[in-house]
């Protein structure tokens, strides 16, 4: 064990409770075997123990959580509806308002902000029996693939605390991997749920736009950024997606939850018939060689479930440039006014991305929209032949936490901080749901994961495929872990 970490002395009771899966914990809550207060105490003990080593949950709200638990215990809600959590503690990303709890968005502009009303998704989670115990760390306004900000500092990867946990839902991924929580919320624009899940050895999902309410952002009619779940197992992921899913009149893209709960897809998973795998879209996307090899080997294991596995992929076209153009416009809607009034408090990545939009022409935006439509059509056609597309979840394992972003992948120098997320951002453009699931470790012990991509609104198919792979590979038993020190690999 590296100097300065541990030893960790979790009590027997805490150890037992934090190692429960979310589905197991909810079943025991519903049976009355444990109480929400006991789970809050177990989470609080674990947070106190490991948080100094990882800095994943900088803002706690344990008194608020205990008050909520007492109300639930006095007046139990409907624990039969899909996604009912029955008093399970959860964490919420610090981009998302929780009433009465400091919510900074990772920005010094909002360092002391305390909202009076919760985000609509938090209201839904709490209505279904989820108890918020903490806010998870995020880059400023969620911009970046490394979780750090000027308010709370850096969040460290528990597999090696010299490395990044990814971003922007990095605090949530670390909290799950270390046993600080059973379920975690995040958001995903270019891969902010999928990337951290891959780098931290947990499971994250980007749902189809509209599946989960985004509340009331300024970008109400843009499908790029979504809210979604993160967990340790696919069954837990399905449970939390059932908690989140459903129509919200405040979100014009949202739609009703399905008649069949997503949990059904993982309770009795059916393997896809025909699966396509690509390591790097024929060289169009730079991916580390060892990552390519590990992911190719593990994707081939779908054959053990009777699947036809072939190397194939839709043409990504100019996805990198398309995403950058549309993301920049998204930033302009969100950040233009703050750029005018608080430029000195915004990090360089946000200023660059926003000013890129100010400089691009209407013709450039029109080109990006035409190319996005063409990419979507290519994916729809591709899914007429294949049930699932598999790629690596990240082009590299975790890198030096002191770096703002990757600078080189597979020998190719990256032009900007977004360029290292093309495996996930290209899928954002297609509106397809995607799950990142652990599949192995590189020679330095860093987690590697697969990204499982289903047709639009095909969350159930993606969850079923992830559950099938989980049964084959068994990676879900690897977390939670105690944080481990280490060095940056050469």
- The percent of residues above 90 in pLDDT, for the chain, comes to 95
Q: What are the DSSP calls for 151-206, one per residue?
A: TTEE-B-TT-TTBB--SSSHHHHHHHHTTS-SEEEEEESSSTTHHHHHHHTSEEEE
2 pLDDT higher than 70: no
Residues 6+ apart with CB under 8 A from 330: 189, 219, 222, 224, 225
Question: pLDDT digits over 15-58, tens only?
Answer: 899 999 999 999 999 999 999 999 999 999 999 999 999 999 99
Sketch the domain layout of the chain as residue ranges.
12-478
- pLDDT given for residue 262 in this prediction: 98
**Whole-prediction pTM:** 0.97
Q: For the ranges 2-11, 404-413, 428-437, which has the lowest average pLDDT?
A: 2-11
As a whole number of angstroms, the distance between CA 488 and CA 60 comes to 30
Q: How many CA atoms, within 13 angstroms, populate the side-chain half-sphere of residue 275?
A: 29
Question: pLDDT digits over 427-437, tens only?
Answer: 999 999 999 99
Domain 12-478 homologous superfamily, CATH: Amidase signature (AS) domain (3.90.1300.10)
Joined together, the tokens standing for residue 153 give 């500092």
Locate tokens 């709490």: which residue? Answer: 126
Residues 6+ apart with CB under 8 A from 387: 272, 273, 274, 275, 454, 461, 465
Please state the rounded mean pLDDT for residues 398-426.
95
As a whole number of angstroms, the distance between CA 49 and CA 231 comes to 21
Q: 1 pLDDT band (50/70/90 cuts)?
A: very low
Question: pLDDT digits over 287-331, tens only?
Answer: 999 999 999 999 999 999 999 999 999 999 999 999 999 999 999
Please state the rounded mean pLDDT for residues 126-151.
98
Question: pLDDT digits over 262-280, tens only?
Answer: 999 999 999 999 999 999 9
Q: 11 pLDDT band (50/70/90 cuts)?
A: confident
- pLDDT given for residue 475 in this prediction: 85
Instruction: Provide the mean pLDDT of the chain.
Output: 97
Burial of 64 (0-12, 13-18, 19+ CB in 10 A): middle
């Amino acid at each position: 064990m590296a100097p300065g970490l541990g030893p960790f002395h979790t009590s027997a009771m805490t150890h037992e409770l934090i190692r429960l899966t979310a589905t197991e914990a909810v079943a025991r809550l519903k049976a009355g075997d444990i109480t929400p207060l006991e789970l809050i105490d177990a989470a609080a003990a674990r947070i106190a123990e490991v948080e100094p080593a990882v800095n994943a949950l900088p803002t706690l709200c344990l008194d608020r959580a205990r008050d909520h638990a007492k109300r639930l215990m006095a007046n139990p809600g409907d624990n039969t509806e899909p996604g009912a959590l029955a008093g399970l503690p959860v964490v919420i990303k610090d981009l998302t308002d929780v009433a009465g709890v400091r919510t900074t968005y990772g920005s010094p502009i909002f360092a002391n902000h305390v909202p009076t009303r919760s985000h609509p998704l938090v209201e839904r989670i709490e209505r279904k029996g989820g108890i918020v115990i903490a806010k998870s760390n995020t880059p400023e306004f969620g911009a970046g693939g490394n979780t750090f900000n000027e308010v709370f500092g850096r969040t460290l990867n528990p597999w090696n605390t010299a490395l990044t946990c990814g971003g922007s839902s990095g605090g949530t991924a670390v909290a799950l991997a270390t046993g600080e929580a059973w379920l975690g919320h995040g958001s995903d624009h270019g891969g902010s749920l999928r990337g951290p899940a891959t780098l931290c050895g947990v499971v994250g999902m980007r749902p189809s736009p509209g599946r989960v309410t985004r509340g009331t952002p300024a970008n109400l009619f843009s499908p790029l950024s979504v809210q979604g779940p993160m967990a340790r197992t696919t069954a837990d992921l399905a449970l939390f997606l059932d908690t989140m899913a459903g129509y919200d009149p405040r979100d014009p893209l949202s739609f009703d939850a399905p008649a069949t709960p997503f949990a059904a897809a993982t309770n009795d998973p059916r393997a896809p018939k025909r699966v396509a795998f690509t390591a790097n879209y024929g060289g169009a996307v730079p991916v580390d060689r060892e990552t390519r090899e590990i992911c190719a080997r593990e994707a081939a294991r779908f054959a053990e479930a009777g699947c036809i596995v072939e190397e194939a992929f839709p043409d990504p076209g100019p996805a990198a440039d398309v995403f950058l153009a549309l993301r920049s416009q998204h930033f302009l809607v969100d950040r233009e006014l703050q750029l005018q009034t608080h430029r000195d408090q915004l990090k360089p990545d946000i200023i660059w991305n926003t000013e890129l939009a100010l400089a691009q022409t209407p013709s450039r935006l029109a080109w990006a929209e035409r190319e996005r439509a063409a990419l979507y059509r290519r994916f729809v056609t591709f899914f007429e032949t294949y049930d699932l597309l598999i790629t690596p979840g990240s082009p590299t394992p975790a890198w030096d936490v002191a770096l703002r972003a990757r600078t080189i992948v597979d020998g190719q120098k990256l032009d900007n901080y977004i360029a290292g997320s093309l495996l996930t951002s290209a899928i954002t453009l297609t509106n397809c749901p995607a799950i990142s699931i652990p599949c192995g470790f590189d020679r330095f012990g860093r987690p590697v994961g697969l990204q499982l991509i289903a047709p639009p609104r095909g969350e159930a198919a993606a969850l079923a495929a992830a559950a099938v792979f989980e049964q084959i590979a068994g990676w879900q038993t690897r977390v939670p872990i105690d944080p481990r020190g280490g060095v940056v690999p050469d």
